[in-house]
């Protein structure tokens, strides 16, 4: 079945470091792909999305490109800030009887000053 | 606009008691989702509704769990009887199209502790 695999955390970086969080997926057809972020004590919120191959989603300095050939949607940011500390979830939209998101297991990011 | 509203924010109760979690989705959203989040199992989809009708309840762990959506503005998740392993953060989310083009909007969750 459809699934999402993320790199395991926690990821610890210094402020202004480059961030990559890997995400690969298995799906039939061409799903839409998403990154959601969860700040401490809150629910998840959409960070960015891409709906077709080669699309690049971007928001708040984060980017991810939908790579069909490698079934990947890696999250990147050129210079992280302490305020980026959160848990990041990769997800794909699975259309079956109305549709639902399938989430990866989440990757915790901790940015130190 | 008000977001997804969950209540209570925190619940501590003893094993064997009935627990009811409540959710008010964003007005106009057709889909409502219940998730459970734990350190061990991550984020799990329990059940989701479309136009108040349960579509997929395959994630509901066992018969002790039940969910209802009597109208478009209210849903409950009930656990009876509760057990310590049910301790988790429970999230409700709503969306226009399930999350395909429009995001799922999450509430702040209910932190449930079963003693």
Q: Residue A97 above 70 pLDDT? A: no
For chain B, list the strands marked E by DSSP.
Answer: 5-7, 10-13, 19-24, 31-38, 42-50, 53-56, 65-71, 74-79, 88-95, 105-106, 110-114
Contact between residue A77 and residue A52 where contact means Cβ atoms under 8 Å apart: no
Residue A42, min C-alpha distance to chain B (Å): 5
> Which candidate in A27, A40, A99, A107 is best for mutational testing of the B interface (most B CBs within 10 A)?
A99
Other CB atoms within 10 Å distance of the CB of residue A34: 29
Q: Looking at beta carbons, which residues of chain B come within 8 Å of A89?
A: 43
CB-based contact (8 Å) between A14 and chain B?
no
- Which uninterrupted H or E stretch holds A76? strand A75-77
pLDDT interval class at A96 (50, 70, 90): low
CB pairs under 8 A between A and B: 65
Q: Do B97 and A95 touch (CB under 8 A)?
A: no
Per residue in B89-109, pLDDT (tens digit) is: 999 999 988 787 788 999 999
- Confidence band of A98 (pLDDT split at 50, 70, 90): low
- Give the pLDDT confidence score for residue A93 in this predicted structure: 87
């Amino acid at each position: 079945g459809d699934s999402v695999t993320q790199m395991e955390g926690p990821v610890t970086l210094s402020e202004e470091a480059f961030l990559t969080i890997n995400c690969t997926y298995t799906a039939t057809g061409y799903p839409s792909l998403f990154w959601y972020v969860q700040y401490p004590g809150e629910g998840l919120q959409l960070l960015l999305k891409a709906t077709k191959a080669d699309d690049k989603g971007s928001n708040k300095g984060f980017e991810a490109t939908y790579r069909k050939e490698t079934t990947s949607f890696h999250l990147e940011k050129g210079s992280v800030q302490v305020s980026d500390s959160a848990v990041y979830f990769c997800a794909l939209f699975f259309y079956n009887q109305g549709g639902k998101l399938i989430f990866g297991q989440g990757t915790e990011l901790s940015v130190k000053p | 606009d008000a977001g997804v509203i969950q209540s209570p924010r925190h619940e501590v109760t003893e094993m064997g008691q009935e627990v009811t979690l409540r959710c008010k989705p964003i007005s106009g959203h057709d889909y409502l989702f219940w998730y459970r989040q734990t350190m061990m199992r991550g984020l799990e989809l329990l059940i989701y509704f479309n136009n108040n009708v349960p579509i997929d309840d395959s994630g509901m762990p066992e018969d002790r769990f039940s969910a209802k959506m009597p109208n478009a503005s209210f849903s409950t998740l009930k656990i009876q009887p509760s057990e310590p392993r049910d301790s988790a953060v429970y999230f409700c989310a709503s969306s226009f199209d399930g999350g395909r083009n429009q995001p799922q909007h999450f509430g702040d969750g209910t932190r449930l502790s079963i003693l």
